[in-house]
Structure 1
Amino acid sequence: MLGTRERRREGEGKGEARGRGPERGERTARARPAGRWLWGAGTVLLVLAVHGNWHLASAAWLFPVFLLRYSRLRPARRGLLRVGCALGLAQLVWLTSTGMVFVPSVLAVFAVLAVVQTLPFAADRLVAARSGSVWSTLVYPVVLVCGEYLFTQLADFGDYGVLGFTQHGFLPLVQLASVTGVYGVSFVVAWTASVAHWAWGRGFRWREIRRGALVWAGVLALVLGAGGVRLVCCAPTTDTVRVAGISAGRAAERATERALRTAGQELWRPRNLVRADPRRVRPALAPVADDLVAATDREARAGARIVVWPETQAGVLADGQQRLLGRVSEIARKRQVYVNTAFALYTPRPPYVRNVAALVTPEGKVAWTYDKTHPTPMEPMTPGKGAVPVTGSPYGRLATVICYDADFPGLMRQAADRDTALIMVPANDWAGFESLHAQRAVFRSVEYGYAMVRQSVHGVATAVDHQGRIRGMADYFTADRQTLVSEMPVRPRTDTLYSRTGDLFALLCAGGTLLVVALGVRGRRARAGVPGAGDDRP
């Protein structure tokens, strides 16, 4: 028996030396029956893991285990193609659930994302499978993070597709973002799956996996322990300010919608609206704006010192902007409150609309007028200049961006660089997408150490402190009038290592990916019989 076992191990070792991997015999014997359920289980878990309103955080830890196993047990081309199909299917399900499946540019971008997400599996199959070392478990997470980072930098579509966002509720782990950004969370989740797959390939025999399991457990304990310490020892200050996020009530929205329908045809199109008779358009737009002004006064009288409007719920013609801001200025002076207004500003020149936020100070002055830097693919408007406005206040420095802007870490870093204590984010979401942005906002606050109030009409409005704790929440779809009131700790801002070093961790993973590519090329040359390649013998 002992001799048979030794001969079997010797044969496996020769197989590894020839570049066939330690699991070739197992792959040949069990590929067909194993492939069906491995791919099916991995795909189902993947669909549940994609960051949507219905996602399961635990599924993000599990789906790579099954898909990694599947790709190892199948011939490389066929296995990786089917893994890519699973990733593409998950993206399609996500696009359908969010209503963006009908936007051609979005479809194209997410098709590219599915290809990028396949690359870590390819690296594991073609490089890591050649080694039995525990260090081979780093291949999958390193390439995954590199792909996430490059997609964020090159696609100009925000940081969608990042695995770490699925863990927004796991606060001890989320604190890692203050050091590495959200990419570190992606790494931990992916590495855990890679280690589990590595242990599975060795039958979970403790003697063989002990060293690797202890290394992984030690790192995870360090990460979670440090996160727990940060939550306890860097708790938010008790020096707070009352902030109110307001949205116009449903009755006002319906009144404006009815008036626009009767004022002319397709007035929801900016070009048609600005060309229509202003005497009919102004009364049609008035109900929402009037409701927001009244709500501003109501919340200021109730004790709010900062009021935040939602994105583009209010609309105003260009010649009516000063009148609207004048009405808000009277309230700001009288109640001594900061009001971050936001509205669609209709202009006579193409593209006929601007997406604007304007801060009115307690002195009745307009501190800034900010145009949205990153319009979504569904917004036909000219982008703003990309400069995040910041101003001082008794409650710490205040800043603003608008909705989709918060998905771009580089833009959000501007606020941290100028020591922002509270960033206000007017937003406008939709059914099927109502929770996603609110959950992603958790990471921006942890990464940069500032509090955030994200007032989202047609979505979930959220107030988050610098540790990612939810200080307030209001769901538009569960109330006739969405109002978010929270006591926000805003002074002083908590500095973070990530705000100083930026995407250093992601860049290190990019460097690690180059090393993986070099190892893959070297192994390929060795298998092709190039003299001296991949062979340390004389």
Structure 2
Amino acid sequence: MANISFATGRWKYLWLVAGVALGLFGMSGEWAIPIAGWLFSIALMRFTRGSSVLGGFVWVAVAAAVAAAVFVAAAGSSGVLPILFGCAILNVLLCVPFLIDRLMFQRGNPILATLVFPAARVAIEFLVAVVSPFGTVFGPLAGTQSANLPLLQLVSVTGVYGISFLMAWLAPVANAVMEHRWQWLSVRTITISYVSVLMLVLLGGGLRLATASDAPNLVRIAGISVSRSAEERMHEINNFHTPEVLPEQKPVLRRAFAVLNEDLFTRSRVEAEGGAKVVAWSETAAVVLEEDYPEFLRTARELARDTQIYLDMGIAVIRDGQQQPRSRDIAVLVAPDGQVLSTYDKAHPVPGMESLRPGDGIAPVSTTPYGRLTNVICFDADFPETLRTRADIMFVPANDWKGIEHTHSANAVFRAVENGYSLVRQTSNGIAITVDPYGVGLARTNYFSTGQQTMVVSVPTRGTWTVYGVVGDLFAWLCVAGLAGAVVLVVFRQIRQRG
């Protein structure tokens, strides 16, 4: 212990401040700075290891709750209490690995001791994603790394949690170096172990990218969101703010919705005539009363037949009167022969913002000349298990809002690499993206900075095999099991010593 140097006095609190400041930029948000995601845990751990067990955890937990409030406010959701409280609780839970590290970092083998914190971080991230209604949108450290292509390839094996593990592992390694006053002989093995693993991951990712075969076949896809001019005309017609649809409102609502739907049908025909073989709409791009849905679908089928396209439509179906829930959020895929190949209901409504009857979460896969096509809807892409399917092209119709557009589009990139398919995310009020099975960006449009709400892109018609697609979240479960085993081992040793 005499050779160990911990942060004390005012320096300890400077580490806390540095950790909180870096943490604001290290979260997967609109202010995200990728390097900050690697660094903030180092500072917070320096603080907790120099503090009492309970005192250090409380300070870090309070800071995390405040950071969550800032994050939610920046995302424009501060008025949605379920999101605000949910994010605060999640951020506090994500501080538990610091408590576990504080209790265990001086016990056992020094190298294995550095693995406790990253295993705990992954275990908490994973369990939160499985249990909470927020999925991975607010939790994983890896969220800031979607543009780091060599590192990104790791998720094809471990899922998003492999990157979180590497990022979290840096904190105990860096703290060990500082605690031993930068004495190389004392930390040589720990440092070399970490650097070696990180270099292998980066080299392996680079090799995977370098050896990726060129796509033999491409399909032209046009992603369409309703034009802003059509939305403005619709709002001029529709002034209703009642909680349910009243009979006397229906004629006006039909005229308002027709403005949106005609805009979509007209522009879809234009893109088909321009060479698009698949046209994909954003989430709830079309809006239709439930009783009018059969006629709407007939028009869509005729369009697909006339233009010989696959038409993937995001549709809001408004139900009558006081029926609960009041709407359906669906994606419908129509083939060039007019056949409806699939109808998918959104499986994960946004907590506190959407009242929908969730679908079964099984992404429908349709075999076509352009590969196996499938789709989910918007927030579903933040739940890895929902998007774990064998397909070639995944469509994610989405509708975001100013303040979360970068976060949400970046999160979808991980799903493409995990499962080895191209991903087309056409969105309103956000950033539309298309990436290939390796996470390489093929197209990108910003709803807020362009007057043309269309993304046209050539997409590979064949995906690639991934380990993650076979084993799923095995790596995360191993971290859960490893952490549980380490805790049991420490407790057992304590009992033996006292006995």
**TM > 0.5 between the two?**
yes
Say if 2:355 is the partner of 1:369: no
How far residue 111 of structure 1 moved from its aligned partner, in angstroms, is: 3.0
Name 2:417's counterpart in structure 1.
Answer: 446
- Calculate the TM-score normalised by the size of structure 1: 0.89
| 1:406 corresponds to which of 381, 394, 413 | 381
| 2:483 corresponds to which of 513, 525, 529 | 513
**Correspondence 1:379-398 to 2 at 5 A:** 379-398=354-373
Q: Work out which of the two has the higher radius of gyration on C-alpha atoms and give 1 or 2.
A: 1
Whole-angstrom distance in 1 between the partners of 2:209 and 2:78: 39
Say if 2:498 is the partner of 1:530: yes
Whole-angstrom distance in 2 between the partners of 1:338 and 1:287: 22
Q: Structure 1: which 5+ residue stretches go unaligned? A: 1-11, 14-21, 532-538
Say which SS state the counterpart of residue 364 (structure 1) adopts. coil
How far residue 245 of structure 1 moved from its aligned partner, in angstroms, is: 0.4
**8 Å Cα contact 1:309/1:341 also seen in 2:** yes
Say which SS state the counterpart of residue 435 (structure 1) adopts. helix
Say if 2:302 is the partner of 1:330: yes
Q: Deviations over 1:320-374 (max 9, x none)?
A: 2222222222221122110101111012232221111111110012112221111
| 2:186 corresponds to which of 180, 203, 208 | 208
- Kindly provide the amino acid, as one letter, of the partner of residue 272 in structure 2: A
After the TM superposition, which of the residue ranges 129-138 and 55-64 deviates more from structure 2?
129-138
Please state which structure has a larger fraction of its residues in helix: 1
Name 2:69's counterpart in structure 1.
Answer: 92
Say which SS state the counterpart of residue 341 (structure 1) adopts. strand
Q: Structure 2: which 5+ residue stretches go unaligned? A: none
| 2:271 corresponds to which of 292, 299, 306 | 299
**Correspondence 1:339-350 to 2 at 5 A:** 339-348=311-320, 349-350=323-324
**8 Å Cα contact 1:236/1:465 also seen in 2:** no
- Kindly provide the amino acid, as one letter, of the partner of residue 16 in structure 2: W
Q: Deviations over 1:228-276 (max 9, x none)?
A: 1111112451411011100111110011111111xxx315x4x1x3544
Whole-angstrom distance in 1 between the partners of 2:103 and 2:179: 16
**8 Å Cα contact 1:50/1:90 also seen in 2:** no
Name 1:423's counterpart in structure 2.
Answer: 394
Q: Deviations over 1:105-141 (max 9, x none)?
A: 2233223312321111011111013457132111110
**8 Å Cα contact 1:445/1:464 also seen in 2:** yes
Change in 2 beyond 3 A, CA 1:520/1:131: closer
Whole-angstrom distance in 2 between the partners of 1:132 and 1:364: 65
**8 Å Cα contact 1:315/1:345 also seen in 2:** yes
**8 Å Cα contact 2:107/2:490 also seen in 1:** no
How far residue 382 of structure 1 moved from its aligned partner, in angstroms, is: 1.1
Say if 2:160 is the partner of 1:182: yes
Whole-angstrom distance in 2 between the partners of 1:503 and 1:331: 41
Name 1:142's counterpart in structure 2.
Answer: 119
Change in 2 beyond 3 A, CA 1:165/1:195: same
Change in 2 beyond 3 A, CA 1:187/1:122: same
Whole-angstrom distance in 2 between the partners of 1:338 and 1:119: 48
Change in 2 beyond 3 A, CA 1:275/1:203: farther
- Kindly provide the amino acid, as one letter, of the partner of residue 96 in structure 2: L
Q: What fraction of aligned residue pairs are identical, expressed as a percent?
A: 38
- Kindly provide the amino acid, as one letter, of the partner of residue 354 in structure 2: E
**8 Å Cα contact 1:123/1:516 also seen in 2:** no
Q: RMSD in angstroms over aligned alpha carbons?
A: 1.7
Q: Deviations over 1:419-478 (max 9, x none)?
A: x11111110000001121210111000000011101110000110110001100111001
Say if 2:32 is the partner of 1:55: yes
How far residue 44 of structure 1 moved from its aligned partner, in angstroms, is: 0.2
**8 Å Cα contact 1:371/1:383 also seen in 2:** yes
Say which SS state the counterpart of residue 216 (structure 1) adopts. helix
| 1:355 corresponds to which of 325, 329, 353 | 329
Whole-angstrom distance in 1 between the partners of 2:339 and 2:141: 43
